[in-house]
């Protein structure tokens, strides 16, 4: 059944139904990604869906129907990005670049927000598996400024996925070195993280705060970034009232305590009541 639907993707009259049904059934068809990649004309048909709505991005005229249809195509691309057999091929074909125009939009309407979130889901699927090939590819593109834009202006869910992507880039040694290589890059990331912390004072989100703290903790592994964070770490992260939302999240409280120790706020770290003994050894910057 699913094999027939894959073939229907190249049949104009059957394509929309095939997109919808395959996006629903993708979890029950573990080999869907290889089928999509190796079936004649299928990837071209999915890319055609994406390119066809570019004219609707500016000026913003994307309808809910058009957004749903292209998001079904993006869900299938996420399968390809996730599968170990097709992930590298997906990168070599530079397919993520086709999604970047969607991340570059600023309209807050539901069709655009759904489109951005689904596009971020594809990139998130790529970075979920620790793979330096993925990080090297993404760093050769403008993914970091695109994620930073979403972290500033997106919905809570989009912000969370975009921050997760930046977090995964930072957790790779190449990614950390890249972001900390220049003051401009570090402060671009730091300014957005700080702005997000301020925003959480008005609209709390434990899930989002967890990713922000992990990003800060990883930045503090770099000697130059650690020194800068001594001056620019948001004061709210030392405020017990602000961090009280983490009382049931032992892992994130430990991350926060380690971050505070790393940047010299040992007393504030102790108040969190976690087992942190001293600053983590700095990660040396790659030349």
CATH of the domain at 177: 1.25.10.10
d(CA 287, CA 69) in angstroms, rounded, equals 45
Choose the final residue of a domain: 100, 129, 158.
129
Give me 13's structure tokens.
């009259």
- Helix, coil or strand: residue 255: helix
Q: Write out the residue range of the structural domain in which residue 100 sits.
A: 1-129
Each residue's pLDDT tens digit, 1-29: 788 999 999 999 999 999 999 999 998 99
Is residue 114 located within the same domain as residue 171?
A: no
pLDDT in tens, 119-154: 999 999 999 999 999 999 999 999 999 999 999 999
What residues contact residue 39 under an 8 Å CB cut-off, 6+ apart? 6, 7, 9, 10
Q: What is the pLDDT of residues 200-245, one digit of tens each?
A: 999 999 999 999 999 999 999 999 999 999 999 999 999 999 999 9
Q: Is the peptide bond before 59 cis (omega within 30 degrees of 0)?
A: yes
In this structure, the answer to whether residues 112 and 161 fall within a common structural domain is no
Any domain includes 277: no
Query: DSSP of 186-215, one letter per residue?
Result: HHHHHHHHHHHHHHHHHS--HHHHHHHHHH
Mean pLDDT calculated for residue range 111-115: 97
Q: Is the pLDDT of residue 281 over 70?
A: no
When divided into structural domains, the chain yields a total of 2
CB atoms within 10 A of CB 172: 20
Please list the helix, strand and coil fractions of the chain in percent, rounded to the nearest 5, in that order: 75, 0, 25
> CA 232, CA 249: separation in Å to the nearest integer?
25
Task: Quote the distance between the C-alpha of residue 167 and its chain's center.
Answer: 8
**200 shares a domain with 102:** no
* One domain for residues 53 and 163: no
What backbone torsions phi and psi does residue 83 show, to the nearest 5 degrees? Answer: -80, 130
Contacts of 181 (CB under 8 A, 6+ apart): 285
What pLDDT was estimated at residue 56? 97
**2 and 111, same structural domain?**
yes
Smallest CA-to-CA distance from 128 within 165, 177, 172, 180 is with: 165
């Amino acid at each position: 059944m699913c094999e027939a639907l894959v073939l229907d993707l190249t049949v104009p009259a059957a394509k929309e139904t095939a997109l919808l049904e395959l996006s629903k059934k993708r979890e029950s068809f573990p080999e869907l990604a290889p089928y999509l990649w190796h079936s004649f004309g299928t990837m071209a048909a999915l890319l055609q869906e994406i390119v066809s709505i570019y004219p609707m991005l500016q000026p913003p005229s994307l309808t809910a129907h058009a957004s749903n249809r292209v998001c079904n195509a993006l869900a299938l691309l996420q399968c390809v990005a996730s599968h170990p057999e097709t992930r590298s091929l997906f990168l070599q074909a530079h397919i993520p670049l086709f999604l970047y125009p969607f991340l570059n939009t600023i309209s807050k309407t539901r069709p655009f927000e759904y489109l951005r979130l689904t596009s971020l889901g594809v990139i998130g699927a790529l970075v979920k598996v620790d793979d330096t090939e993925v990080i090297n590819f993404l760093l050769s593109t403008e993914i970091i400024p695109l994620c930073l834009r979403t972290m500033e202006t997106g919905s809570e869910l989009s912000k969370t996925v975009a921050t997760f992507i930046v977090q995964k880039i930072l957790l790779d040694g190449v990614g950390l070195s890249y972001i900390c290589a220049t003051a401009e890059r570090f402060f671009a990331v730091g300014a957005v993280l700080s702005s997000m912390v301020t925003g959480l004072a008005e609209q709390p989100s434990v899930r989002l705060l967890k990713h922000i703290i992990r990003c800060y903790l990883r930045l503090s592994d770099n000697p130059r970034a650690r020194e800068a964070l001594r001056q620019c770490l948001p004061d709210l992260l030392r405020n017990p009232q602000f961090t009280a939302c983490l009382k049931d999240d032992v892992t994130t409280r430990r991350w926060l305590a380690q971050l505070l120790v790393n940047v010299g706020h040992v007393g504030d770290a102790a108040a969190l009541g976690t087992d942190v003994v001293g600053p983590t050894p700095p990660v040396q910057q790659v030349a």
